[in-house]
Amino acid sequence: MFTVRFHEALVYAAELHASQRRKLSGAPYIAHLMAVTSIALEHGADEDTAIAALLHDAIEDQGGPPTREEIRRRFGERVVEIVDGCTDTDQTPKPPWRQRKESYIAHLGRSSADVQLVSAADKVHNARCLLAEYRAGGESIWKSFNGGKDGTLWYYRSLVETYRSGSAPPPLVEELARTVSELDRLTKTFL
């Protein structure tokens, strides 16, 4: 089903993110990249899109423009276009959180189906993890997020609206919507 390119992308992603861990759980970051790739594959990703899913955070978190060029060289233009579409900034230092998220949402509304698939797979995995961490840790988790509780919930609600009007796979969008709704419900119950 896949060529050696997919294996090379998996190894490259593992190398790029080797020292990175998930924000709340502390799990090796590659677990997130593999989960996003799995979700994307379950919703119709082809090899290029699956490679982009493995590398979706590479430009943003692991080197900016030089990493973009390395992805282009190794995996081609289509992969780098999808990864670029999933990147909210390649600047260091990063612009303010709210500004980045508003720009990302605006860009996402005009993005290709491949970008929306990988982006939605990423957000579904992030939302699942956020919900699980909220159930385990309650309100204390919000201090780990630049947007805090209100900003983070605004961002996920906005993403659901954007995906619903775009070309992300509807079952994936509805899973995200259910997860965000449950998180909303739990946070309101806490008050």
Instruction: Give me the pLDDT at residue 190, please.
Output: 56
pLDDT of 178 strictly over 80: yes
The one catalytic residue among 60, 84, 122, 175: 60
Instruction: Report the distance separating Cα 91 and Cα 96, nearest Å.
Output: 11
Q: Contact 101/31 with Cβ under 8 angstroms?
A: no
61 belongs to the catalytic site: yes
Phi-psi region of 64 (alpha: psi -120 to 50; beta: other; left: phi over 0): left
The one catalytic residue among 8, 46, 47, 61: 61
Domain residue ranges of the chain, discontinuous segments joined by +: 4-190
139 belongs to the catalytic site: no
pLDDT of 152 strictly over 80: yes
How many C-beta atoms lie closer than 10 Å to residue 189's C-beta?
7
Percentage of the residues of the chain whose pLDDT score is greater than 90: 93
Q: Contact 6/47 with Cβ under 8 angstroms?
A: yes
pTM of this prediction exceeds 0.85: yes
Domain 4-190 of CATH type 1.10.3210.10? yes
- Quick: pLDDT tens for 9-67: 999 999 999 999 998 899 999 999 999 999 999 999 999 999 999 999 999 999 999 99
